């Protein structure tokens, strides 16, 4: 099915530069005047209108970017076959125009048709790209059995080469997306498909054992069970659809019985896990970093990656360490000079569920929303595939165009660096200290540069049946993340 959508997005670059300061001043004036209670209702309406304009202007495209805009044609459910005969389905967004365009691929286990996948795909297509959004093997519309990580290298390779041969493709393929969608990029890259020319992994890991399934040797139970449960929902519905025969139904009145499904065959208890999430049992069976994990660990394959990459992370993201390791690892060990010199790193203020000006209890200001992710992806591929001289064009003689850009908390502004870690940074060792009650509600623990000598050890009783909640820090969307007020949610058990 094809759908044509007209696009009329204006170029905000000059408007953004001329209006930003005026709008900020006007917002401050309105906020200051709201102390007059009789005018609050009117002022709130005016403020909402101002903030709406403010949001459009401040999130407008930035940098030097190709200005031509295209209407978009959408093709839904386009099939392709993998090397082992499994059919995967994609939605394709392409410019309504003659000619050939670069391809940007997103491979997702979370449903290719949802808004967070479709909206950026459409936006990027208006800028002169063919965007392919695909359900990975065993998920939603695609055939096959779902098993995390196992098929992504081969399926990614096959999809990239298929996408490069699409009628509107110019043969250059890039990838985008975050979390597991970022993992599909890394796992595709280690297979080095000939037409993959760049990737843009966001908030993703470098090792699916430590840093994903386990943390410091301990099973990351809350993450593993939450993620597995979410994934198993679609697996269950696929199982039901496969084992349901509507022809067995017998309409009766009153409508109290529909024998369309053999409920006795539904898996239950431990069998349900084996049926719906067998990989979870494999994770438990491999607590150590063994061959099971090494086969698809990116850290074991940095030297196989041949292409440039823009790595985007968040200071409060659960996979931050992996984002940094991916940048450093490919830069040091990439298979080609292009790969080693072509790594870029952007670390924003944000967590796994997105980026924003407020994380946890802390407001980080306007700079925190300076780089909307979709705009960054467009700029990256405009530079990589179209030769745009924007912020990604490295110029060692100036502070602009450096390969690393980080958000500096406290100063609440972005800073560019020549590398990560910054050359001026010095590792500093801090030591845990306690006055004997660091494990209490109002604990007296602290960090110090001085090594501890003789201090009373603190003890903590952990009960898996009654776990303490995680408060703040680097987390996932299901938890409050970021900088929160210090202190546990309830008294510790000592």
Instruction: Give residue 3's pLDDT.
Output: 55
Instruction: Give residue 434's pLDDT.
Output: 84
Give the pairing type, strands 446-448 and 362-363: unpaired
CATH of segment(s) 72-210+295-417: 3.40.50.1820
Instruction: Give residue 275's pLDDT.
Output: 82
Would you tell me the crossing angle of helices 40-58 and 13-33 to the nearest 10 degrees? 160
- Give alpha helix (H) positions in 72-203: 115-125, 152-164, 180-189
Instruction: Give residue 270's pLDDT.
Output: 65
State the chain's maximal CA–CA distance in angstroms.
82
Helix (H, G, I), strand (E, B) or coil at 486: coil
pLDDT tens track for 324-380: 999 999 999 999 999 999 999 999 988 786 677 787 788 898 888 888 889 999 999
What are 228-233's contacts with CB under 8 Å, separation 24+?
228/277, 228/279, 228/280, 231/109, 231/146, 231/148, 231/277, 232/276, 232/277
What DSSP character marks residue 199?
B
Instruction: Give residue 358's pLDDT.
Output: 81
- What number of other Cβ atoms are within 10 A of residue 334's Cβ? 23
pTM of the model: 0.80
- What number of other Cβ atoms are within 10 A of residue 279's Cβ? 16
Give CA angle at 103 (98, 105), nearest 5°. 145
Distances in whole angstroms, Cα of residue 428 to Cα of each of 328, 418, 420, 449: 20, 21, 16, 8
Instruction: Give residue 253's pLDDT.
Output: 47
CA nearest neighbour of 152 among 133, 138, 167: 138
- Give mean pLDDT in consecutive 10-residue pieces for the chain, a chain of 494 residues: 48 43 44 40 39 37 64 98 98 97 98 94 98 98 97 99 98 97 98 98 96 91 89 88 62 46 55 85 96 97 98 94 97 97 94 76 87 94 95 64 91 94 93 80 84 81 76 61 50 47
pLDDT tens track for 322-337: 999 999 999 999 999 9
Instruction: Give residue 148's pLDDT.
Output: 98
Instruction: Give residue 191's pLDDT.
Output: 97
Give the Cα separation of 349 and 266 in Å (integer): 44
Give the Cα separation of 244 and 235 in Å (integer): 14
Instruction: Give residue 269's pLDDT.
Output: 64
Domain ranges of the chain: 2-58, 72-210+295-417, 218-243+256-286
Contacts of 83 (CB under 8 A, 6+ apart): 154, 158
């Amino acid at each position: 099915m094809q759908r044509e959508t007209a696009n009329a997005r204006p170029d905000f670059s000059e408007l953004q530069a001329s209006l930003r300061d005026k709008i900020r001043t006007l917002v401050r004036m309105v906020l200051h005047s709201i102390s007059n209670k009789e005018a609050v209702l009117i002022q709130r309406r005016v403020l909402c209108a101002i903030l709406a304009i403010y949001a459009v202007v401040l999130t407008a495209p930035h940098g030097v970017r190709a200005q031509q805009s295209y209407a978009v044609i959408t093709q839904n459910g386009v099939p392709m076959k993998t090397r082992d005969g499994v059919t995967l389905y994609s939605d394709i967004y392409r410019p309504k125009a003659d000619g050939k365009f670069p391809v940007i691929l997103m491979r997702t286990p979370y449903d290719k048709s949802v808004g967070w996948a479709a909206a950026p795909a459409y936006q990027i297509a208006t800028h002169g790209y063919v965007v392919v959004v695909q359900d990975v093997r065993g998920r939603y519309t695609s055939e096959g059995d779902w098993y995390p990580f196992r098929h992504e290298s081969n399926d990614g390779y096959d999809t990239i080469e298929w996408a490069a041969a699409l009628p509107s493709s110019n043969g250059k393929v890039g990838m985008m997306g975050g979390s597991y969608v970022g993992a599909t990029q890394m796992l595709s890259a280690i297979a080095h498909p000939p037409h993959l020319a760049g990737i843009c992994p966001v908030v993703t890991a470098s090792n699916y054992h430590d840093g994903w399934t386990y943390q410091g040797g301990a099973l990351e139970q809350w993450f593993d069970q939450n993620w597995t449960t979410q994934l198993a929902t679609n697996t269950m519905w696929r199982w039901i659809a496969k084992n349901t025969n509507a022809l067995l139904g017998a309409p009766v009145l009153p409508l109290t019985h529909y024998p369309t499904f053999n409920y006795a065959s539904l898996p239950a208890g431990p069998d349900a896990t084996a049926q719906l999430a067998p990989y979870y049992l494999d994770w438990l069976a491999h607590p150590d970093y063994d061959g099971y994990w090494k086969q698809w660990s990116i850290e074991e394959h940095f030297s196989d990656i041949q292409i440039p990459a823009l790595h985007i992370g968040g200071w409060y993201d659960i996979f931050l360490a992996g984002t940094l390791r991916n940048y450093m690892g490919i830069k040091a060990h990439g298979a080609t000079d292009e790969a080693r010199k072509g790594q870029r790193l952007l670390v924003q203020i944000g967590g796994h569920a997105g980026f924003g000006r407020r994380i946890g209890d802390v407001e980080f200001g306007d700079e925190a929303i300076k780089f909307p992710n979709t705009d960054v992806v467009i700029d990256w591929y405009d530079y990589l595939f179209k030769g745009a001289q924007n912020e990604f064009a490295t110029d060692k003689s100036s502070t602009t165009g450096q390969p690393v850009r980080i958000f500096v908390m406290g100063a609440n502004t972005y800073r560019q660096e020549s590398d990560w870690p910054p050359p001026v940074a010095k590792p500093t060792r801090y030591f845990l200290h306690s006055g004997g009650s660091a494990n209490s509600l109002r604990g007296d623990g602290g960090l110090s540069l001085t090594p501890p000598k003789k201090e009373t050890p603190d003890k903590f009783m952990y009960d898996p049946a009654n776990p303490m909640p995680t408060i703040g820090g680097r987390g996932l969307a299901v938890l409050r993340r970021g900088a929160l007020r210090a202190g546990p949610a309830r008294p510790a058990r000592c």
